[in-house]
Structure 1
Amino acid sequence: MNRRPRPSAARSGRTAPASSRRAGRSASDRSAAGRGATPASGAPAELPVLRVGFIPGVEPDRFARRWRSGQRAARLELVPVPLSRQADVLGTGEVDMCFVRLPLDADGSGTAGVPGELHLVELWEERPMVVVGIENILSLHEELTVADLAEDPEIPSAHPDDAADRVAVVATGVGHALLPMSLARLHHRKDVVHRPLADAPATRIALAWPRAADDAVRQEFVGAVRGRTARSSR
């Protein structure tokens, strides 16, 4: 039997059901969002970014957690930096601040293109370590002195970023390498051990940034590194 088709809501003049209208609006909204619709007026502006470099051996995660634990004036971005470029990245503006290993030079100024003087906030010291292969007789000591190393050749550093290469050499049983504790731990492997060197000077880690670029955000980060939370009083 032939039946006349029922007229659609659009042709009959009747209003479409509310659920259909809502679905249509939702699809339209999603389409607008996909086209990059601008946020409603009054939305908070995006925070500026504070880029902080850190050299191998420095673990900045605890400082980042402290910074992110409350409302701050900038969003923190951590940038790994080779030791050989710790001064360069400040001079070129690639980072706003940097955890560095001292000395940069005698007074922290004029290094590799850094304009003017640097603020240097010294943070901690690192004990020097002797890295040797597990078959090296020096590995039997709990602590070593410079005199203990007299008969064992040192693997000299060819460039500032060769710590892993030197550890690989001593792993073969040839000589020893001198590294700050954090680098000895960073490059530890099963075929080497590291022992404290009792009578050698420690190295120092500092937070550095150009004096000309000092501002409240950088000072706030210094406070966070020193243990101040977002709620702490100055």
Structure 2
Amino acid sequence: MTGTQETPAPPSGPGFRLAYVPGATPAKWVRIWRERLPDVPLDLVQVTAAEVPDVLRRGDAEAGLVRPPVDREYFSAIPLYTEKTVVVVPKDHLVTAADEVTLADLADEIVQYPLDDVIGWEQPPGQPAFERPATTADAVELVAAGVGVLVVPMSLARLHHRRDLTYRTVTDAPESSVVLAWPEERTTDRVEDFIGIVRGRTANSSRGRTRPEPEKREPEKKQQPGKKRFVKPGRIRQDGKPQSKRSANKPAKRKRS
């Protein structure tokens, strides 16, 4: 991922904008973001692979799901996943007789090699077409018209699915990967939030930004019930009425005979 150097522009607005190239699948992380940060809107910006560098440099998006190569002098990047490589062919093509093929099986085929190719071949397989199509979408149209085959990551084969086409895994082809990239000078709190999500951190992980926890209050101590004061009962008089303590201590008067 390369592009002309420009002065970094600070992102504007309260939300977070995530660019993604065709075939990238941000849905899982977007769902987690919206559950974890419901008050911070996340906007998706779909761009072509060629547009991504300038989009991120201008600040039109804070980060992007992109395919290598990435200019590591300007961008930070985290690998996310790799994809199987497949060959897209008409449904009646000979290679559909097998579940998997190799590059050697395509040696005699005309292989479309679009200008926006994302695999980065050192030597493209098969026989070269007379002219390179401008885009992967154009290459798919040529394959549907019976002009050669196309080797792409599986996500792009699914993105450009047609009823008259199918695909098979190419076991020994290079794999394409997807990374999260952003301008290193603009590693904002929101970028850190998204990094934590793609790395599978919990909302309270100590390695990422966390929300402040509510102050813990000490549980109130239950008051011990007051002890009952023991009162020594007075003596019982002969008439059955209780005597007060004071009267109980007085000697009883003798009757005169």
TM-score (norm 2): 0.65
Kept in 2, the 8 Å contact 1:144–1:197? The answer is yes
Structure 1 alignment gaps of length 5 or more: 1-46, 110-115
Kept in 2, the 8 Å contact 1:120–1:207? The answer is yes
* Aligned twin of 1:170: 143
* Aligned twin of 1:56: 22
Distance change in 2, residues 1:78/1:50 (3 Å): same
Q: 1:84 aligns with which of 45, 50, 53?
A: 50
Give me the whole-angstrom Cα distance separating, in 1, the residues matched to 2:173 and 2:102. Answer: 8
SS of 1:99 mapped into structure 2? strand
Kept in 2, the 8 Å contact 1:99–1:206? The answer is yes
Give me the whole-angstrom Cα distance separating, in 2, the residues matched to 1:152 and 1:95. Answer: 40
* Aligned twin of 2:240: none
SS of 1:193 mapped into structure 2? strand
Q: Say which one has the larger Rg.
A: 2
Kept in 2, the 8 Å contact 1:155–1:175? The answer is yes
Task: Measure how far apart 1:77 and its partner are.
Answer: 1.3
1:130 maps onto 2:130 in alignment? no
SS of 2:36 mapped into structure 1? coil
* Aligned twin of 2:230: none
Give me the whole-angstrom Cα distance separating, in 1, the residues matched to 2:165 and 2:36. Answer: 42
Moved over 4 A (4+): none
Structure 2 alignment gaps of length 5 or more: 1-12, 118-133, 208-257
Give me the whole-angstrom Cα distance separating, in 1, the residues matched to 2:113 and 2:31. Answer: 37
Task: Measure how far apart 1:165 and its partner are.
Answer: 1.5
SS of 1:59 mapped into structure 2? coil
Q: 2:112 aligns with which of 152, 155, 159?
A: 155
1:8-157 matches, cutoff 5 A: 48-71=14-37, 74-104=40-70, 108-109=71-72, 116-157=73-114
**More helix by proportion, 1 or 2?**
1
* Aligned twin of 1:226: 199
Q: Which amino acid aligns with 2:82?
A: E
- Number of residue pairs aligned between Structure 1 and Structure 2: 179
* Aligned twin of 1:205: 178
Q: CA RMSD in A?
A: 1.9
Q: 2:153 aligns with which of 177, 180, 183?
A: 180
Kept in 2, the 8 Å contact 1:63–1:224? The answer is yes
Distance change in 2, residues 1:50/1:137 (3 Å): same
Distance change in 2, residues 1:151/1:191 (3 Å): same
Kept in 2, the 8 Å contact 1:73–1:217? The answer is no
Q: Which amino acid aligns with 1:208?
A: A
Q: Which amino acid aligns with 2:151?
A: L
TM-score (norm 1): 0.71
Task: Measure how far apart 1:232 and its partner are.
Answer: 4.6
